[in-house]
Amino acid sequence: MTQRFTLTVDGKSHTINADPDMPLLYALRDDLGLNNPHFGCGLAQCGACTVQIDGQAARSCITAVSTVGDAKITTLAGLGTPEKPHPLQTAYIEEQVPQCGYCINGWIMTAAAFLRDKKKPTEAEIKDALSGLKCRCGTHISILKAVKRAAEMMG
């Protein structure tokens, strides 16, 4: 049985009709037509589906749409703009991180939530915060450099 839900995504309000148990990921991609987050594993193990819910990184593939309530959802598209990118977006470009780009959503959204709460993190703290995210292209070293660069920019 479907219900009506109002989601605030990237600062805009959207109303959808959905099964309460439907993953937030499906609402974002199928109902709202967003290109990110991505479907990766569907089990919260890879991170490609990561969004921020009230500033906290969350795996949208296992988050039921009914649990979001009035929370503000931020996707990669809402993190920054082409005119004023988030420091992580700038650092990713400067460090030339992207290869296939499929996993970037999860890495940036997780790192953005981490860096908001942790100023001047050590490399070990960055690695710990990003553990559990997967990149099949092997750009982990470049990702770490980009997160360090962004931390310095935000510092």
Give residue-wise pLDDT tens across range 79-124: 999 999 999 999 999 999 988 889 999 999 999 999 999 999 999 9
**Class of domain 79-154 (CATH, top level):** mainly alpha
Contact at 8 Å (CB) between 12 and 34?
Answer: no
Residue 153, phi then psi, degrees to nearest 5: -65, -35
Among 10, 25, 13, which Cα is nearest to 86's? Answer: 10
The first and second tokens of residue 41, run together, are 């594993």
What does the alpha-carbon distance between residue 94 and residue 106 come to, in Å, rounded to a whole number? 19
Confidence of residue 41 (pLDDT cuts 50, 70, 90): very high
pLDDT band at 47 (very low <50, low <70, confident <90, very high): very high
At the topology level, CATH places domain 3-77 in Ubiquitin-like (UB roll) (3.10.20)
Domain regions of the chain by residue span: 3-77, 79-154
Q: Using the Cα atoms of residue 128, residue 107, residue 65 and residue 70 in order, give the sign of their dihedral.
A: positive
Mean pLDDT of the chain: 96
Query: Of the candidates 18, 62, 66, 61, which has an alpha carbon nearest to the alpha carbon of residue 38?
Result: 61
